[in-house]
Amino acid sequence: MRETVCLLGSPAHEGLPMDTLAAEYGSSFKHARNLDQLCEVGIENNIVAVLIDSDSLGISTKRALESVLDVLPKVLPIVCHKASETIHWSELVDAGAFHALLLPLCASEVRQSLGFVWEAQQRRRTRVLVLPSRPVASSRRTQAAGILA
């Protein structure tokens, strides 16, 4: 199943080639006007990131994040906000935000954000446990022995 980027809320992407931007990272693009539509999109698509316009949903950004993560716990949520809004980034991160974008959306900023999503997905796929070449305790003993000698 192809990875999908979804915009949740108003069509803040009008005029932007969202299909093309998502395709640059091997993803498709879908738009969901509300949480019910997001759930429907999630049934048939592997949603990896959701751009959330909470203002158009009529709920707080924190509540929108919680709602998205309740439905799609592994998704990377990207908060979309107006420059005039005060953003408490630490609270958003605690609520599960991955990144943020200014509204109206700008192609170069969306591209950069999708690049961050792509990189995070690559890291998830290739996460490998790397063990030291020798046990840490042994290494410390060797260092201590060298100091004492």
Report residue 144's pLDDT band, with 50, 70 and 90 as the boundaries.
Answer: very low
How many angstroms from the chain centroid is the CA of residue 35?
17
Report residue 87's pLDDT band, with 50, 70 and 90 as the boundaries.
Answer: confident
Q: Residues 1-50: pLDDT tens digits? A: 789 999 999 876 778 999 999 999 999 999 999 999 999 999 999 999 99
Range of the domain at 10: 3-148
* pTM for this entry: 0.82
Tally the residues of the chain.
149
CATH code at position 34: 3.40.50.2300
Report CA-CA distances (Å) from 62 to 3, 18, 59, 120, 131: 25, 25, 8, 22, 38
Contact in structure between 64 and 20 (CB atoms under 8 Å): no
Counted domains in the chain: 1
The H-assigned helical ranges of 24-106 are 35-44, 54-57, 61-71, 89-95
Report residue 143's pLDDT band, with 50, 70 and 90 as the boundaries.
Answer: very low
Give the pairing type, strands 46-52 and 28-32: unpaired
